Structure 1
Amino acid sequence: MSKTLSHAKITPHRSAARGHSDHGWLNTYHSFSFADWYDPKFSHFGSLRVLNEDRVKPNSGFPTHPHRDFEIFSYIISGELTHRDSMLRKGAEGGQSDKFYRMRRGDVQFTTGGTGIAHSEQNEHARDTVHFLQIWAIPWKRGLTPRYHTRHFDDEDKRKGFVPILSPLKGGPDATFEQEKAAEPTIEGTIPIHADFVMGAALIPPQEKFDWVVGADATESNKRKVYIHVPMTKNGQTKVRVDGRDEILNEGDGAFIDGVNAGDRLTVESVGEVEAEVVVLDTA
């Protein structure tokens, strides 16, 4: 196969190389070192620190727990996941708000841990398992004001091309109090993140190719790293090729892409017989 980005180094990260724990209520795979699983080869990639693919059974989940000084986001694949802020009593939320949200397919919830927050993430559905990605990024500075954001990203848009989901907060590391309060992202319609980091997602029809523009015209650093992840959504039938390379990515696989520059067009092709869900994490 011909390579479009001959200067790029693409290294597959196979699903079998991930950490894995099955706690009964939680079945989780770790692309990067997390909890009791540590591999020095997979500590972080640029500002990308955690990528867990989680399945949580009905009527279970993560009880109230603290976070600080990470940017944390959940990408819902199927089922539903209920976020509750520790300050709210169950049943007293008064409808969906930044402090209570029942997330479903297409929803992304984002948390700035900053100086410290506490929340719970529970699957309160009676029957269905929830399947989602939990991703952490290292912020450009510590001690930020804790915040939540939740947005929905439609599947039909993802079938037309990569949809940007996160982009850097306008103002960057030196953002003013007013810019922090306004929470305006560099790319309109995305969630603002305190990092030189862009996230995108696509649903690529069989035998079609979508291009991801490295940096998405939204980042400070010209030298970029891109991590691609293929969630486990089609019972192992998904197959993806990146930049026309020989290696095929299967469900649960990822790929480290080094040596790319802002503006490069990274081609991702669905080479199986089913639609391919693909998540792109683009970092300095």
Structure 2
Amino acid sequence: MSNTLRHAKITPHRSAARGHASHGWLDTYHSFSFANWYNPNFTQFGSLRVLNEDRVKPNSGFPTHPHRDFEIFSYILSGELTHTDSTHKKSDTEESELFCRVRRGDIQFTTAGTGVTHAEFNYGKDPVHFLQIWAVPWKRGLAPRYHSGRHSDDDKRKGFVTLLSPLKGGIDATTAQEKAAEPMIPGTIAIHADFVMAAGIIAPGSKFEWTVGAKATDATKRKVYVHLPMTKGGKAQIKLDGREDIFVEGDGAFVDDVNAGDKLVVESVGDVEAEVVVLDTA
């Protein structure tokens, strides 16, 4: 397979270079500086600010805590996580119960904006494994907003499924557009950033193609962060753009100097299918 992005710079971010903390109930890896771990080489990538890979034991979780002025989302890799916040309580209604409890493949999204308090707890019998991701919004002081989405593994085995895309109207969105929360890509969750998230499950020997920018942005110059979560006991591996570097579970890749419309090929070269997350930002 020949590389098609000769102009792109692809820099590995190895799993061993991530920050790591174990708190008994929580085992967490930080791709970017977070909490007590700071590395000046890993602080932010475009609007991507936090990428934590967390495992939380049963009957434990994050107690109620505040956030503001970030776009915060959790992508569930296994198990289930119950989210409660300052406007949605776990016991409100059956609908809010479905909103709060997210399971394998689901995404839970919060615009923290002017300020929210929330908690995330594992009420299940098994550990929950998820990615917690934060993006910097295009402006501060936004009204808090919550949403969740569900996409099947079957769809992700056909190609990359887009989960998040920018809010229609962008930084100058009207009050009506904010209320409608319509994303640039139908079927996704609208985010207040020039940011697109996608996930795919690639069979061994197969390749998926990611279109940079996902036709959801006017920004020509882009950055893409690719992450391979630790889901298959170390057996999943990928290559990017036909290059020699092999990425193993827990690794990420900084893809710089790409333009909207470029095609990034992700190939699964391990013994098992690889679940790959793509974070595309200006």
Map 1:1-284; keep pairs closer than 5 Å: 2-87=2-87, 92-97=91-96, 101-125=100-124, 127-284=125-282
Q: Which amino acid aligns with 2:37?
A: W
Q: In structure 2, do the counterparts of structure 1 residues 145 and 14 end up closer, same or farther at CA, with 3 Å as the change threshold?
A: same
Matches of 2:87 and 2:176 in 1, distance apart?
25
Matches of 1:87 and 1:163 in 2, distance apart?
29
Q: In structure 2, do the counterparts of structure 1 residues 264 and 89 end up closer, same or farther at CA, with 3 Å as the change threshold?
A: closer
TM-score normalized by the length of structure 2: 0.98
Q: Which amino acid aligns with 2:248?
A: N
How far residue 89 of structure 1 moved from its aligned partner, in angstroms, is: 5.6
Matches of 1:175 and 1:94 in 2, distance apart?
31
Matches of 1:260 and 1:100 in 2, distance apart?
36
Structure 1 residues without counterparts, runs of 5 or longer: none
Matches of 1:236 and 1:252 in 2, distance apart?
9
Matches of 2:98 and 2:206 in 1, distance apart?
39
SS of aligned partner of 1:41: coil
Q: What is the aligned-residue RMSD (CA, Å)?
A: 1.2
Matches of 1:220 and 1:249 in 2, distance apart?
30
Q: Which amino acid aligns with 2:213?
A: G
Kindly report structure 1 stretches of 4+ aligned residues shifted beyond 4 Å: 87-90
Structure 2 residues without counterparts, runs of 5 or longer: none
Matches of 2:87 and 2:237 in 1, distance apart?
43
Deviations 1:230-250 (A, max 9, x none): 000000000100000100000
Matches of 2:88 and 2:7 in 1, distance apart?
51
Q: Percent identity, aligned pairs only?
A: 72
Deviations 1:9-64 (A, max 9, x none): 00000000000000000000000000000000000000000000000000000011
Q: In structure 2, do the counterparts of structure 1 residues 191 and 98 end up closer, same or farther at CA, with 3 Å as the change threshold?
A: farther
Q: In structure 2, do the counterparts of structure 1 residues 89 and 250 end up closer, same or farther at CA, with 3 Å as the change threshold?
A: closer
Matches of 2:62 and 2:74 in 1, distance apart?
13
Matches of 1:142 and 1:98 in 2, distance apart?
29
Q: In structure 2, do the counterparts of structure 1 residues 59 and 70 end up closer, same or farther at CA, with 3 Å as the change threshold?
A: same
Matches of 2:100 and 2:218 in 1, distance apart?
32
Query: Is the 1:98–1:150 Cα contact (8 Å) retained in structure 2?
Result: no
How far residue 87 of structure 1 moved from its aligned partner, in angstroms, is: 4.7
